[in-house]
Every structure is written in structure tokens, then in C-alpha cells.
Amino acid sequence: MKHILFLTPFVPSNRAGGENFTRLLLEKLSQSCKIDLIYFLYKDDPLYEKPNSNIKVVGLIENSMFFKLKHAVLHPLTHPMFTVRFSKFLLTKIKELVVENHYDLLYLDHSQMFLYGKFFPEIPKVLMSHDVMVQRFARSGNWLSKKMILRGEGNLMRMPNSTVFTFSEKDCEIVRDAYGVDSRVTNFFLDETTENAVPQKIEKRLVFFGKWNRADNFDGLKWFFDNVYEKLSPDFQILIIGKWLPEDFQKRIKPSNNVEYLGFVENPYTIIANSLATLSPLFSGAGVKVKVVESLACGTPVIGNEISFEGISSLFSEFMIRADSAEEYLKAIENISIDLNKRKQFKQTFMDNYKNQSIVNFIEEM
């Protein structure tokens, strides 16, 4: 049985796409591997719930803005993306664990964990790049931050004994072109709640779904309400699902009779499956968008722009409705006419074609 040291910057949970991937990965890996887990959490975060005894939490680091700023200041020559969770105290603990347990693999989840791998050149490492940072910062940030990202991410991805994973062939191409590194593709895991969400009755309802403390998500939501909402018929109900919607924006939408903020929902997929469409205007960010994949897996069309659909096969283009301007969003919403049977058929086709390219297989066969 392989013994893995697993580092992740968030609580593995079903609260957001990346965290849910990590949760499901741990669940699947722990069926055949022994895992020592270190994760970060904020004060209001719930603790990770282990699925079985093969997972042992060996480190739990309380995160805060002070913690992140402190470690960014301590490493001024490296982009904060790679240092805000880099703690010398934690590094010392990891070194002790490595000496004690002789791990077969070091799994570093998200770019924020990659820097720890520099100190263990002899151990095989998996670098899980949820977003390729050079692409994310190519769309935003100044020339200095772009230069620091390019240097920092490249140095980390070229670490000895490392295998880089991304979520799409497009991201693999970016990694190869930018850094000369060959990487591998893994699919997202779709859990039972997503698989079981079959459209039953299409409501005249539009859904926004995401983690709203991420600028990528919130900027798109705000853009919609600034540019599209007032022109949209009030007959459409709009639901906003996900944690951390800013309070001032909650106050803004509260008087609107057809808008409801649900916050975190344990199982949002039944709601999504029976909604007219998921809305996904995005103007920054990188990589495959989990909320788009999950919506398609529910048999629900997604209205978004080019960034929304990056890395997703054109096989599913009928349900990926492209809109770039306010007028195009209005037209797309008003003209959706995909009936219930077609949505059920699409869901089945999507699930059948969402191939089992799994990071689990790679780790088990190492």
C-alpha cells in the first residue's frame, strides 16, 4: 500500500469545484493508499470529514489574511501566489514527517503548495495545477506580476521527480509552450449527487453558481447585473448559489423580487438540472470551469463566453451557448428552446463521453 503525503491549501469539501475534486480524489485514493493529509482552513471553515481510516490528518494550519501577508512579505522576490501559504514552521514539520514515514509520493494540490516540493528533490511528486497561472495572469495583472509568475511557475513545474497534471489538453499545451514541460490530463470527478441530478421539469429559472470571494466569479456576476439584468424580463427567476457573496451586493439585489441568494447549498445539482440555464460570464481566470462541467453533467445548458468553455470538448457545443455582449446574453436567454427529452439524452451522452482519464490510475500504477 503506497504511503502519500498530501498537501492542499483548502478544506477538502463539496463547497466549490476545486475543493470537491480534492475531496473525491482523497476518497478514491484512500481505497488503495495510505494518506497523511495537511490542509489549511479559515476560522469559519468546517473541519474535513474523513471517509475512512486510511486518511490521517497530520497537519491543520489556520489561515488568515495576516498569515498570507506575512509570508508574502517574507519572500518578496517570489510571486505571492506561491508564498502566501509557505510557512517555515510547516516545512520543518514536513521534513520530520518525511524522515519518519519514507513517503512514496508527495502530492501538492494547487500552485500554492508547489514551493514545498523544492525541498524534497528525491521524492516523486504530483503537482496538481487546477489553474495554469501563466494563463490566468496573462489576462490580468501588470508586467512585473506576469514576469514573476512566469519565472516562479516555470521553476516549480520543472522540479526533479515531478509530474504535472492539468484539467485539459489546452492547459497541457500552455504548460509545454511556456515551460517546456510535458504534463498529463485528468478529468474532474463527478459525484453521485451530480450523476443523479436528472432534469424533471424545466423551470423559468437562471442559475449563477460559484464561490463569490473569487474575483473571476464575482466580476462576471456583477457585470451581468450592471449590463443585462435591467433589460431582462422579470418573469425569469434568478438564483445565486455559493458562499461569500459580498454584503453590499446582497443589499443591492435584496429589493429584486425575482432574485434570490441561497448561499451554500448542500446539493445544488437538482436545482441546476431543473433550471433553464446556468449563466457563466467570465473575464479572467484559466483552466476548465468546474461549474460548467457540472452543469453540463446535469443536462443543463450554459450561457457563457470563450473563457467559460475553455478546455471542454466541442462535442458538447450545442449546450455551450456562446454570448459575449449584453445583447447576446439577452438573446440567448430568451431563445433557449431545448426540451426535457433532449436534455435527458444530452446528460446521458455527456456522462458516457466524459472519459475516465483519472489521476488515481496514474498514482496507483506508479
Q: Name, in order, each residue with C-beta under 8 angstroms of 7's C-beta and a sequence gap of 6 or more.
A: 38, 39, 94, 106, 107, 108, 109, 113, 116
CA dist 280 and 289 (Å) reads 9
Backbone phi and psi for residue 260, each to the nearest 5 degrees, phi listed first: -135, 130
Topology annotation, domain 2-186: Rossmann fold (3.40.50)
Q: Name, in order, each residue with C-beta under 8 angstroms of 55's C-beta and a sequence gap of 6 or more.
A: 26, 30, 35, 37
**What cell was used for 20?**
470537491
The predicted model scores a pTM of 0.72
Q: Name, in order, each residue with C-beta under 8 angstroms of 57's C-beta and a sequence gap of 6 or more.
A: 37, 38, 39, 48, 50
Of the candidates 164, 187, 221, 216, the residue with the CA atom closest to the CA atom of residue 294: 187
Q: Is the dihedral of CA 206, 17, 195, 243 positive or negative?
A: negative
Strand 105-109 versus strand 2-8 pairing type: parallel
Backbone phi and psi for residue 116, each to the nearest 5 degrees, phi listed first: -60, -30
State the pLDDT at residue 138: 67
- Domain coordinates in residue numbering, the chain: 2-186, 192-353
Topology annotation, domain 192-353: Rossmann fold (3.40.50)
State the pLDDT at residue 14: 83
H or E segment and range at residue 94: helix 88-101
H or E segment and range at residue 146: helix 143-157
Do the domains spanning 2-186 and 192-353 agree at the CATH topology level?
Answer: yes
Q: Name, in order, each residue with C-beta under 8 angstroms of 308's C-beta and a sequence gap of 6 or more.
A: 280, 281, 282, 289, 292, 302, 320
First to last CA, the chain: 12
Low-confidence stretches of the chain (pLDDT < 50) are none
CA dist 3 and 265 (Å) reads 34
State the pLDDT at residue 356: 59
Torsion angle of C-alpha atoms 260, 261, 262, 267, degrees rounded to 10: 90
Of the candidates 223, 221, 229, 261, the residue with the CA atom closest to the CA atom of residue 242: 261
State the pLDDT at residue 354: 72
